[in-house]
Amino acid sequence: MDNSQKNEPKVKVDRASAKLSLVHIYVAYIGFAIAILCGLLQGLVRGGIMTLPSWLNYYQILTAHGVLLGLVFTTFFIVGFFLSGCARTSGGSLSPMARKLGWIGWYLMTIGTVMATIAILANTSNVLYTFYAPMKASPFFYIGAALLVVGSWFGGYAIFNNYINWRKQNLGKTSPLFQYMAVATMILWQIATLGVAAEVLLQLIPWSLGLVPDVNVLLSRTLFWYFGHPLVYFWLMPAYVCWYVNIPKIIGGKIFSASLARLSFILLILFSIPVGFHHQLMEPGISDKWKLLHVILTLTVVLPSLMTAFSLFAVFETTGRKKGAKGLFGWFKKLPWNDARFFGPMLGMLAFIPAGAGGIINASNQMNAVVHNTIWVTGHFHLTVGTSIALTFFGISYWLIPSLTGRIMTKALHRVAILQAVMWTFGMAIMSGAMHYLGLQGVPRRTDYTTYFDHPEALSWIRPQALMGMGGAVLFFAGVLLVGIIVYLVFYAPKGEEEYPISETQDAEERTPKILERWSLWLGIAAFLIIVAYAYPIYQLIDHSPPGSQPFITW
Ligand code: HAS
């Protein structure tokens, strides 16, 4: 029997595990608060609505915004969320060793974040969140980023330790679905971050310290994208955990199939790593054959998302029908639209339909030639991570924080949080819509405001760019509202018991195939695919490397 379907009595996360989880969530939201201010400024500047004072640089706030949201908010939130769910599905507490590892990870991640943030504030590291060489940041920035990654490894070790402990204590049983998914995500993360660790430790740190004169730019980008694509699945998989495991409980339903959910996570581990060249389709120096292989695998990684969509529709429809829904779409009305824990993540799911379609466009070689390096791509990731994932993380916060702090989400708070989700979606729709449109006109990404010496074409971009800035302003107010709700939930919400929603599966007799938990098999297949997709191209990049580049500081 699948353990995620056991009708457990209400289990509360104990104080020690809750504290560990909460400190992660707090840093995540501190990073979020600083990042949305940077987002407002850069939106208004890029929209031609304001100019920055001379002591502040556009690329500085752009770097802070990207690093704090893309790397800090997400990583801290994900580790905190997973630790709490692992505790909740292990009878309420993490194993003592898992707690120790979790704290080591948190300290390393926090020190790394502070170092990287100081380097950005000091105007020494305006290299954006992809820190592409040959733009050179201060060694502090790279060392800070490395500590953030190494710290997150410890977060992963904590989750692995707790899972191994659970399995030892429950011999022969299938693990809880939440833990299984957290382990799968952290396995993906450990494999993916090897690429960026190699780039930062072997190439960028020695180069930025002046120990080596130049850097192999194409190799560094390839190592970055080996990491960069699974990074987006590292953001996505926790949202899928919420959609698969938490949302069915919130809407009064059950998980459609735990085996399908597990299989989709295995497929994500297998196919989300050997695809990095789809970010480099327009780059010279990598042969078309390898790019084609990565594109084929990219289209394969769409499958688990389609499985997820199918499974979610099934949950919504069966739950609605059980509540008496009639007709083809009657179930839609039976969903709990007045519950903020559902409302935001649901808007996120809906946004993921066009967002995913945009991803498939990006992955098609010819269409990538139209959109690559344009602001379309920025629109794509604001719709995926900025809307689908962010709204899901906000929805998670509405039960996670109160259930860990011993407070409750009141009805009034639900209403405010629903307003927040509507504002966020509205702002994102305007901003991301304008970005997609402008991208198709050829507007480049990663640039400060300019009219290109009043070129007529660039002048025609001004209005939609202003719209983009206005969308950014709406987002800022929605972000401030969110921070207000989080502060209220932490310090002022009424005391009480908020449920930590973990769902059961629809079919109580469903048996999970044991093979899904045979990690050595999946790791072996993942390693095989990675070697096939990357070993030879990387060998070639090293063997035929052109003269390396000296560092550039462009700000
Ligand atoms: Fe992407 C660039 C391709 C998904 C994030 N992507 C980026 C960048 C980021 C990013 C950050 O092939 C920019 C990196 C940079 O700075 O340069 N992306 C894809 C593909 C997918 C995809 C094929 N991306 C994501 C996700 C992200 C993300 C997810 C963040 C979390 N992306 C690309 C490519 C590029 C790229 C190229 C490079 C572009 C370039 O040239 O630079 C797919 O995984 C998408 C599959 C998703 C679906 C949707 C399934 C729908 C679901 C929801 C169902 C809804 C329900 C609700 C059930 C097929 C699961 C319905 C309810 C009712 C009531 C109706």
pLDDT at 355 over 50: yes
Q: Is the CB of 359 under 6 A from ligand 1?
A: yes
Range(s) of the domain holding residue 34: 15-323+360-505+513-543
Considering only CA atoms, which of 358, 228, 202 is closest in space to residue 294?
228
Question: CB of 10 within 8 A of CB of 499?
Answer: yes
Which pair of tokens denotes residue 420? Answer: 């927040």
Band (pLDDT 50/70/90 cuts) for residue 8 is low
Amino acid at 354: P
CA distance between the termini of the chain: 59
Catalytic hit among 24, 46, 279, 382: 382
Please state the length of the chain: 555
CATH at residue 462: 1.20.210.10
Cα–Cα distance, 430 to 153 (Å, whole number): 37
Question: CB of 311 within 8 A of CB of 261?
Answer: yes
Task: Give the Å distance between the CA of 359 and the centre of ligand 1.
Answer: 4
Q: Is the CB of 384 under 6 A from ligand 1?
A: yes
Residue nearest to atom 12 of ligand 1 (CA): 363
Report if residue 348 sits inside a domain: no
Q: Is the CB of 299 under 6 A from ligand 1?
A: no
Q: How many domains does the chain have?
A: 1
Report if residue 366 sits inside a domain: yes
pLDDT in tens, 505-547: 887 777 889 999 999 999 999 999 999 999 999 999 999 988 8
Cα–Cα distance, 167 to 179 (Å, whole number): 11
CA angle 148, 150, 156 (to 5 degrees): 105
Residue nearest to atom 47 of ligand 1 (CA): 356
Q: Can you give the pLDDT at residue 511? A: 84
Cα–Cα distance, 529 to 527 (Å, whole number): 6
Q: Is the CB of 298 under 6 A from ligand 1?
A: yes
State the pTM of this model: 0.96
Report if residue 350 sits inside a domain: no
Q: Is 436 a catalytic residue?
A: no
Cα–Cα distance, 383 to 435 (Å, whole number): 10
Report if residue 5 sits inside a domain: no
In 211-339, where does DSSP find H-type helix? 217-241, 247-250, 258-271, 288-322, 330-333
Report if residue 333 sits inside a domain: no
Which pair of tokens denotes residue 360? Answer: 């498939």
> CA dist 455 to 44, 104, 280, 344, Å?
21, 54, 29, 41
Catalytic hit among 58, 77, 234, 381: 381
Q: Can you give the pLDDT at residue 510? A: 75
Report if residue 120 sits inside a domain: yes
Question: CB of 152 within 8 A of CB of 101?
Answer: no
Ligand 1 closest atom vs CA 373: 42
Cα–Cα distance, 93 to 87 (Å, whole number): 4
Cα–Cα distance, 420 to 425 (Å, whole number): 9
Report if residue 298 sits inside a domain: yes
pLDDT at 73 over 90: yes
Catalytic hit among 229, 341, 414, 436: 229
Amino acid at 405: T
Q: Is the CB of 352 under 6 A from ligand 1?
A: yes
Q: Is 58 a catalytic residue?
A: no
pLDDT in tens, 258-283: 999 999 999 999 999 999 999 999 99
Place of tokens 């000091």: 122
Residue nearest to atom 7 of ligand 1 (CA): 381
Question: CB of 232 within 8 A of CB of 385?
Answer: yes
Catalytic hit among 59, 129, 154, 233: 233
SS3 per residue for 148-191: HHHHHHHHHHHHHHHHHHHHHHCCCCCCCHHHHHHHHHHHHHHH
Band (pLDDT 50/70/90 cuts) for residue 10 is confident
Report if residue 194 sits inside a domain: yes
Residue nearest to atom 19 of ligand 1 (CA): 359
* Omega of the bond leading into 551 within 30 degrees of 0 (cis): no
Read off the pLDDT of each residue in 388-395 and give the average, rounded to a whole number: 98
pLDDT in tens, 464-496: 999 999 999 999 999 999 999 999 999 999 999
Place of tokens 């002048």: 459
Q: What percent of the chain has pLDDT over 90?
A: 95
Q: Can you give the pLDDT at residue 210? A: 95
Task: Give the Å distance between the CA of 384 and the centre of ligand 1.
Answer: 6
Q: Can you give the pLDDT at residue 1? A: 46
> CA dist 415 to 96, 212, 422, 476, Å?
39, 57, 11, 19
